[in-house]
Chain A
Amino acid sequence: MSYDDWFRKDRLPHIFCAGCGNGTIINCTLAAVDQMNWKKEDTIFVSGIGCSSRAPGYILTDSLHTTHGRAIAFATGVKMAKPDFNVVVFTGDGDMAAIGGNHFIHACRRNIDLTVVCMNNQIYGMTGGQGSPTTPRGCLSSTTPAGCNEAPFDLCDLAIAAGANYVSRWTSYHVKELEKAVKVGLETPGFSFIEVLVQCPTAFGRRNKFRQVMDHVEYLRSHSLLKAKRDRLLEKNQPVPEDMFVVGELMKRNRPALGVKP
């Protein structure tokens, strides 16, 4: 298959747990990158630290595996130094929202021509399941054994408010939609942010009654509310269900961007 050429076959199978959705997101991103007809020499994948950030290690291009939370900062440097390169950032919720939150909002503000794919598994998976800024209310983790009582971060709202050009959210169940969203993100000049909610059977599912992988995927499927449907509900003044999250293309606009290929 076509996007299969982008994998480093000697490094597969990868280190992710059985049932982890990160591999699905790598597939979708590479399928979108493959449709762009980019050369492997001109494409750079950048990542920070975490489960999600192991992704560029399995991809046959130049990649940067950088310090914790600074993936977007390094990617900004790459893009500013060499605007001809296509830069894609893989990052996780603990990497981007927690320690790298400031880099994230400033990259949105500057509107640098990057594509950021955030694999949001709602927990710190690699270090043993500590609560992250995106852990939903009431969810158990090793640092919130009685249930998380903080409000979670809505990363898409944050990106929209900070000024990103393209923002969308999908889950690891919606593979075709995710592939299209990543492709639109790659085509859009300026900062494009794609948040992907992903199952984590080992750290998140084990503590939150999603012991089977499919239970969690089914939860993601049944609790996602399409943006069009949300807008219809708002139009009719009907209540939007509290426990559901909105998926779809949340923002597409044309703010002046930095570092666009001349």
Chain B
Amino acid sequence: MGHGILLSGADNIDFMVHGIMKYSFFGHEVWITTTHVCVLIVMLILMGFAVAANRCMAKATEVPGNFQNVIELMVEKLDGIVDGAMGNAAPRFYNYIGTIFVFIIFSNISGLLGLRPPTADYGVTLALGLISFTVIHFNQFKYQSAKEIWVNMCSPLPPWLPIWLPINLISEIAVPISLSLRLFANVLSGTVMMALIYGLLGWIATIWPAALHAYFDLFSGAIQTYVFCMLTMTYISDARNGN
């Protein structure tokens, strides 16, 4: 951190993404960064949890034990969120919404485990936004005819006068950008805030930052996860029903 940040000589403020090793990929210089490592750790933990859950559910009992109870609760809550937002189209999207919900929320709260949250890197959230964008438009082309899409694209004006088309196109392209930037900026602001507190205050920041962790990591992370999933589901429902 150069002298750009603050004049307090704080050298131990660190919230940037660091490169770990670089290699050449068809002539391009490609870096393996800390984000890759954090995503890998998050993925491994989630995979381990999934395998354990699968083993547990394979020998499920009528009266659930502790772990089976937790799994059933999680799955029922996630399915309930999808049910509430998508109505009778919900069963087709339990998998997708549940997966991104679990991944994003675990990424967001991984700041508590000492990782740099992977969602505080724009590469990760842009990928999530683009996946949602693909799902939205796959459903749009599947459930609406080309004529309906054209009429929607020229929406406030009649379809033979496509003056409004470029503006509607821009608003379509803005969907993944705003989805990903919202998540990215929220998590990044929490990360930067915690790094500033720990870096600038030194020994003063001993126990009370736990309250800030509860806000920035748990509360803000959970809210943003919920918002990402809710917006994705709203856009998918719109795409399926016509606007």
Q: Are A and B physically bound partners?
A: no
Chain A residues in contact with chain B, CB under 8 A?
A: none
Chain B residues in contact with chain A, CB under 8 A?
A: none
